[in-house]
A and B are shown apart, each in its own frame.
Chain A
């Protein structure tokens, strides 16, 4: 079946620290992979996506590379800011079917 496993939180970092949030997936075929971000009191917003193996999604300084050989899509940012404090969700959309599958979310707090 389809599933997403992501790093347990919460994660607390100092401003300008390096961020990695791990995400691995199980899926048949060639799913599309996503990172969504949820700021306090809001819905989920797309942060970045990758639709095929070896694609790199990037946005707002965040990056993630679709690694089919390790079934991973880890989120990275070189220098986090206080404004990056949010909950981050890894997700997949299988190449057949129309549902999305989400990880449990990782809460990130960045302190000045």
Chain B
């Protein structure tokens, strides 16, 4: 199916563990984004990427790492998960002025 696929959809992990959230697009959009969604904060930008091997920090990058070796993939890694990183994470891509979102990953850190 065309679009953005995030995996896993749900994840429970323990404090201190490393966890990677995957994002794959079937288009060839240059720009990709990672957001976290929290009650009262809406969507906050974690990292974004303008192209393969080009990434930049957003509003809330601390504790996260990204990579983009291929245009279609943009994984987000929590190096040592903390309870404050419990959230819903959305990956998105951009074409022109429009943003396209994945279905999200609900991450719980216990």
Q: Using a CB–CB distance below 8 Å, which chain A residues touch chain B? A: 32, 34, 36, 41-46, 49, 51, 89, 91, 93, 98-100, 102-105
Contacts and interface: CB of A to CB of B under 8 A. Distances in A.
Interface in B18-55: 31, 33, 35, 40-43, 45, 48, 50
Interface in B84-108: 90, 92, 94, 97-99, 101-104
B42 A102 contact: yes
B58 interface: yes
A34 B97 CA distance: 10
Contact of A46 (B45, B98, B104): B98
Nearest to B58: A99
A101 to B, nearest CB: 9
- Interface-centre pick from A36, A42, A43, A91 (highest chain B CB count, 10 A): A43
Contacts of A45: 101
19 contacts: A32-B97, A34-B99, A41-B103, A43-B90, A43-B103, A43-B104, A44-B99, A46-B98, A46-B99, A49-B97, A51-B97, A89-B42, A93-B97, A93-B99, A98-B31, A98-B48, A99-B33, A99-B45, A100-B92
Contact of A104 (B40, B94, B98, B102): B40
B48 A43 contact: no
Interface of B: 4, 31, 33, 35, 40-43, 45, 48, 50, 58, 90, 92, 94, 97-99, 101-104
Overall SS of chain B's interface: strand
Contact of B42 (A34, A43, A46, A103): A103
A100 B42 CA distance: 12
Contacts of B35: 102
